[in-house]
Amino acid sequence: MASAATLQTAPVPPPAEQQTADCSAPVFATDQLVCGDRTLRALDSELARALAAGALPNSPWFEPQSQWFLRRSHCAFAEDHNACAMAAYRERLALLGDLEPTTKVLAARCDDAAIAAVAVKDGQIFLLDRQRRIIGAAATRSGGSSWQPFLTAQRRGRMLIVTTGEGASLQCTV
């Protein structure tokens, strides 16, 4: 039998890295919320399909999935847990989706030469590469929940300033 000292010093492995909720054995509080809520579970399934459909952009303006998942899991500490998780999923799905043909696209000259254009739709500014693929999405206004987007944007006339949560910034003229 192991002593109490042995049990206290035994390493505890970290949870397996996840991309979406694990409803077969939900460990995280936000996974438990997602798995028990029809709307959130549908959004999580949609996210899983989008992730399976293709590679994510390699851009400083695109939050890696593992970091997004960790931030989404932190919604459990928010008073508006459900609204925070809902905003997280909606933002991520908008970033992984395609622009609608009617979305207004503007040519842009940015500090980052990989960005060729920006699109504006429903309070978000999308950063587009030369092939018109989304490589970043910034919120221009608060979404009404405690969720904090990875990128935020401010427009000042023709100038667009995009900032990451870590403080990196990008300036574009549109």
Tens digit of pLDDT for each residue in 49-100?
999 998 888 899 999 999 999 999 999 999 999 999 999 999 999 889 888 8
Report the pLDDT value the prediction gives residue 14, as an integer from 0 to 100: 53
The strand pair at 134-139 and 169-173 is best described as: unpaired
Task: Give the DSSP letter of residue 130.
Answer: T
pLDDT score of 12: 46
Considering Cα of 97, then 123, then 138, then 91, what sign does the dihedral take?
negative
CA torsion sign for 104, 105, 107, 111 is positive
Which pTM value belongs to this model? Answer: 0.85
- Please list the ranges in the chain whose pLDDT falls under 70: 1-16, 142
Q: Which residues contact 155 (CB under 8 A, 6 or more apart)?
A: 125, 140, 161
